[in-house]
Amino acid sequence: MKCPFCQHEDTQVLDTRVSEEGDSIRRRRRCARCDKRFTTKERIELSMPIIVKKNGSRTEYASAKLRGSLMLALRKRPVSAEAIDTAVASIEEKLLTSGQREVESGYVGELVMLELKRLDKVAYIRFASVYKNFEDLAEFQDAIAEVGQDRKTRK
């Protein structure tokens, strides 16, 4: 780690602390040449699991694809870009901390549905009806009925 003041290569670590969230480390350092002190924050590298598709093929996780699916489901719905960002971050956090090297694409779909359910019921049904055939028809009908009620109360 280079000294930010004099660019000297040799710095000594005085103190190491893991952040409260457990995802980064703070190190208090001292430059061996100019004796100035500074703190570095180092992120612990977690890697995204590989996505296993239904046909068994593997693909790398792509943030843009996830965002694309959410945007499509939320098209013309009253949900802010910020709320979408938060949903993407929440899904990625779950994937990162799953500790798995590989996850099934169905699991990612479930995470998306959880977020959509929270964000917007119409988008949730849009996504769910395309993404998977509901195993439990009653569940699907309940969801449709809920949206129907929303529409009635709006008019």
Contact residues for Zn ion, defined by CB under 5 A: 3, 5-6, 8, 31, 33-34
User: 36 vs 67, which CB is nearer to Zn ion?
Assistant: 36
Answer for the pair 141, 128: CB distance below 8 angstroms, yes or no: no
- CA distance linking residue 11 with residue 6, whole number of Å: 11
User: 2 vs 26, which CB is nearer to Zn ion?
Assistant: 2
Q: Shortest approach of Zn ion to residue 14 CB, angstroms?
A: 14
Answer for the pair 66, 91: CB distance below 8 angstroms, yes or no: yes
Q: Shortest approach of Zn ion to residue 37 CB, angstroms?
A: 10
Q: Shortest approach of Zn ion to residue 9 CB, angstroms?
A: 10
User: 31 vs 87, which CB is nearer to Zn ion?
Assistant: 31
User: 37 vs 67, which CB is nearer to Zn ion?
Assistant: 37
Q: Shortest approach of Zn ion to residue 28 CB, angstroms?
A: 14
User: 14 vs 18, which CB is nearer to Zn ion?
Assistant: 14
CA-to-CA separations, 47 to 53, 69, 115, 152, in angstroms, rounded: 18, 22, 22, 46
Q: Shortest approach of Zn ion to residue 52 CB, angstroms?
A: 48
The beta strand positions in 44-147, using DSSP E, are 50-52, 58-59, 102-104
Q: Which of 102, 107, 124, 125 is nearest to 115 (CA)?
A: 124
What is the sign, positive or negative, of the torsion defined by CA atoms of 5, 8, 14, 20? positive
